[in-house]
């Protein structure tokens, strides 16, 4: 179990990111793993793989946030940030999601088996 209250125990901490603007996406690196951290318009945080499932060299953090969805900047597939589901083609496969928590000004992201661990 990773959750203790609202804090993820086995998580990577990213300092100061709880203050990023709403409606934005930020690319984070955890070793070789690229993560797209999104702060939705309503202030909630979501983390997904930063590789589009249509073409994995496309960074979702280059895309556009609307509600709790992100649109890939390359071919405009839309992903649900809560489930990772691809909501429009050309992407079909879901994007991997990661649990997040806010701890003060920091963001915690649960990365079960980070590369290099
Ligand atoms: S690379 Fe993302 S939709 Fe094509």
Domains (range + CATH), the chain:
3-110 (2.102.10.10)
Mutate to test the pocket of ligand 1, among 36, 51, 54 (most ligand atoms within 8 A of CB): 54
6 Cα: distance to centroid of ligand 1 (angstroms): 33
Asked whether 73 and 52 are in contact (CB, 8 A), the reply is no
Q: Does residue 77's CB lie within 6 angstroms of at least one atom of ligand 1?
A: yes
Distance CA 65, CA 23 (A): 6
* Rounded-to-10 torsion of CA 100, 6, 108, 86: 0
From residue 54, give the alpha-carbon distance in Å to each of 80, 88, 103.
Answer: 15, 11, 33
* Rounded-to-10 torsion of CA 13, 16, 17, 21: 170
Instruction: Give per-residue pLDDT as tens, 73-106.
Output: 999 999 999 999 999 999 999 999 999 999 999 9
**Minimum CA distance residue for ligand 1 atom 4:** 75
Q: How do beta strands 64-66 and 7-8 pair?
A: unpaired
Q: 110: buried, middle or exposed (CB in 10 Å: 19+, 13-18, 0-12)?
A: middle
Instruction: Give per-residue pLDDT as tens, 17-58.
Output: 888 899 999 999 988 899 999 999 999 999 999 999 999 999
Asked whether 14 and 37 are in contact (CB, 8 A), the reply is yes
pTM across the whole model: 0.89
Q: How confident is the model at residue 114 (pLDDT cuts 50, 70, 90)?
A: low
């Amino acid at each position: 179990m990773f959750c203790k209250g609202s804090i993820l125990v086995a998580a990577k901490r990213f300092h100061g990111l709880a203050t990023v603007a709403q409606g934005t996406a930020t690319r984070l690196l955890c070793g070789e793993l690229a993560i797209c951290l999104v702060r939705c318009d309503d202030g909630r945080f979501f983390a997904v793989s930063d590789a589009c499932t249509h073409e994995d060299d496309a960074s979702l953090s280059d895309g556009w946030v609307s509600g709790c969805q992100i649109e890939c900047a390359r071919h405009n597939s839309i992903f649900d940030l809560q489930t990772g589901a691809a909501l429009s083609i050309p992407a079909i496969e879901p994007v991997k999601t990661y649990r997040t928590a806010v701890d003060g000004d920091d963001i915690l992201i649960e990365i079960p088996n980070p590369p290099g661990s």
